[in-house]
Every structure is written in structure tokens, then in C-alpha cells.
Amino acid sequence: MDYRQLFIRKNNSLKEAMRQMGETAKKILFIVEEDRLIASLTDGDIRRYLLAGGQLDDAVDAAGNHKPIIAHSRESARNLLKAKQCIAVPVINTDGLIKDVILESEENLLPTVQLQIPVAIMAGGKGTRLEPYTKILPKPLIPVGDLPIIEHIMNQFQKYGCNDFHVIVNYKKQLIKAYFAENERRYNVHWYDEDEPLGTGGGLSLLCEKVNSTFFLTNCDVILLSDYDDILRFHRDHGNVVTMVCAYKNTTIPYGVIEIGKNGEIISMKEKPELSHLTNTGIYVVEPDVLADIEKNVEMSFPDIIEKQRKKGRRVAAYPVCEHDWLDMGQLTEFENMRRRLYGE
């Protein structure tokens, strides 16, 4: 790719920066003025800025790192990539102009940390949003490329050393179990059968006294391409009982939006405005004592469980990620996008 695709002007907004990171599939940009480096900006810089109270409409310059790692030759940049474990290192000439950007290799993108915590997967729903496919197959077994969605999810967690899977099943559960019984890869799976549908949270009562450590919780139609190690550290560093992974979702209203006052007087007009929302991805980090607060055999959503924890005065928090890092198969329109992202096509 042309390294200039990673350039952004200092007055551009963080919303624009997140969109640009999504388009380039890189987690870093360089804030420049006439190709002269001012600061670097990573997705982590944006997240820290927003968690500190910043807004998506703020200029990128406010969130950037004004003391980035730089090099003056390509060879030096490659050495710094290895030594500092950077995402990218810009090559700067004597005038301060960026002449190249050395990006980490695909090999360096593979995580080296081993988190070794359990993963709970909610796989009992009927997947009505994916009908008619789910009339034949349960949602966890719907293929995305060469593998069913649930296996993609498990493989993503295994990259971080999470190999202990607790899967709650209901709809067409025998098909799901049969697939794994005959699977060439051997996953460490513990099965929990719902007798009745218990929602995205109620089924977790089956894990009480079975899971005794901090665990990841995920729906079975989403994949997250973010840094799981950083999510877990955020959860622990802030003493959360639940951390909800959230994505900034941008929605454009395809009409002119009018605000009126008394007697219909037009106060403002916005043509096709774009709205930004922090959206629940359906992926969480959870402390095990939350399980003890879940009533048995009562249907409820996991957001209901979070609200109960909030009312008890316990800390719950959101970990924001870029929209591009969240792949959601729950909608047919997103199906092909997920396949392309996973297979690099």
C-alpha cells in the first residue's frame, strides 16, 4: 500500500481517523502537515482519549502521540519494529518529512501472550435474523468460508491461549455436538444444555460453580479482531466485574433532518447527518461471582445482568473498539463482509 494512505491532517476528527483505520486495515495513522510528521495516532491512543472524556468530533491532534518512535533509514526502522514491538515506524529525512513507513509483518501480528482463561459461548438461540439458513442449520454451524462461525470464534480465542470453552446450547444442539464429536481438531469443550430458552444471560446460571475464574463471554455470531490481552488488562486494572466490548457504529440518515421551533419555524437543517453510537458487540469479560447472582431457569439478557450489577454498586465499564474490528454475522448483509475480512479477499 502507499504509505501516504496512513497520513491524516491534524484538524481531522477522531471519527474520520477511525474510518480511515478501517479502510486501510491498519491500527495506526500519522498526523502530518505538508508531509512533515507531527504525531502518531493508534487505535489505543483514540481509546484512551475517549475513555478520559474526549469526543469523537475532537481533532486528532488532541489524542496523538507527539513523541513517536522514528527512524532515519529503512534498516533502522526494521530494527526498531523488532526491538520496540511497534505497529509501524516512519522513516524521516533531515527536513522532518516522512519518506516511507515500515509496517510490521503478518508474522509479527500473531499474539505471543497466553491468557489461559475460560471462554463462555452463548450458542442456544434460533438465529431468526439468519433465516432461512437457520431453518436447516443452527447458527453456530453456519459456514463462513471453510469453517462454521463458532469454530472461527474459538480459533480467534486460541490465538491468545484460551483453550477452555464452555458452550451453552439449545436449538438443534445435537447437530452442534455431533459436529465437534467428528471434528479433526480437538477442542476442549464443556457442554451445557438449556431445557428452555433462557436468553443471552439466563443460560449462564448453568456455569455457576463450574467456572471459577475471570472469563470471556461471547455470542456465537460475532468475531473481534482487537487485542484480547489489552481488553483483559483494562478489565483487571479498573477492577471491573463486567467489561463490555463496544464498537463505535456510524450511521448516516439518508434524508435531510430538520429541527423546528414555535409555529414551525425552521431552526436548523442538516443534510444526511451522520450519527455515532457506542454499540454493544456481544463480547464481555466477566468475573465469576457474577454467576452467583443469576437466577436459575429465568430468561434474561446479559444487559439485564449488567444492570443488576450496576444497581449493587459494582463497577461495570465499556472498552471501545473501532467498528472495523467487530465482525457481526447476525445480519445477512454483513455475512459476506465477515468472510472477506477473515480470508483477506
In the chain, the N- to C-terminal Cα span, in Å, equals 15
Closest by alpha carbon to 2, among 99, 105, 104, 75? 99
Asked if residue 344 has pLDDT above 70, the reply is: no
Domain boundary among 47, 74, 109: 109
Same domain for 134 and 102: no
Question: What's the confidence (pLDDT) of residue 78?
Answer: 86
Same domain, 15 and 72: yes
For residues 154 and 82, state if they share a domain.
no
Regarding whether 295 and 164 lie in a shared domain, the answer is: yes
Neighbour tally for 218: CB within 10 Å:
23
Instruction: Tell me which residue has cell 421551533.
Output: 261
Domain assignment present for 15? yes
pLDDT tens profile 125-140: 888 878 888 889 999 9
Q: Cβ contacts of residue 191 below 8 Å, gap of 6+? A: 167, 169, 173, 177
Domain boundary among 52, 87, 109: 109
73: three-class secondary structure by DSSP: coil
Which helix (H) or strand (E) element contains residue 339?
helix 332-343
pLDDT tens digits along 217-246: 999 999 998 899 999 999 999 999 999 999
In a domain, 57, yes or no: yes
Q: Which of 72, 87, 109 is the last residue of a domain?
A: 109
The CA-based diameter of the chain, rounded to the nearest angstrom, is: 70
pLDDT at 247: 92
Domain count, the chain: 2
Residues pairing with 33 in the sheet: 36
> How many residues in the chain?
345
pLDDT at position 109: 56
Q: What is the CATH number of the domain that holds 246?
A: 3.90.550.10
Cis-peptide into 273, omega within 30 deg: no
Q: What is the pLDDT of residue 200?
A: 85
Domain containing residue 76: CATH number:
3.10.580.10
Kindly state whether residues 93 and 234 are assigned to the same domain: no
- In the prediction, which pLDDT does 342 show? 78
Whether 162 and 80 map to the same domain: the answer is no
Question: Is 257 domain-assigned?
Answer: yes
Same domain assignment for residues 128 and 96:
no
Instruction: Say which range, 25-29, 57-61, 164-168, 238-242, has the weakest mean pLDDT.
Output: 25-29
**What pLDDT is attached to residue 108?**
55
Considering the domain architecture, whether residues 183 and 235 belong to the same structural domain is answered as: yes
Mean local confidence (pLDDT), 163-178 = 95
Q: Give a yes or no: residue 114 inside a domain.
A: no
Range of the domain at 94: 3-109
Domain check: are 145 and 272 in the same one? Answer: yes
Q: Which amino acid is at 111?
A: P
In this structure, are 21 and 93 located in the same domain?
yes
Note whether 231 and 285 are within 8 A (CB).
yes
Task: Tell me, yes or no, whether 156 and 198 share the same domain.
Answer: yes
User: Are residue 149 and residue 33 in the same domain, yes or no?
Assistant: no
Task: Tell whether the model's pLDDT for residue 316 goes beyond 70.
Answer: yes
Q: Which residues are registered as beta bridge partners of 320?
A: 246
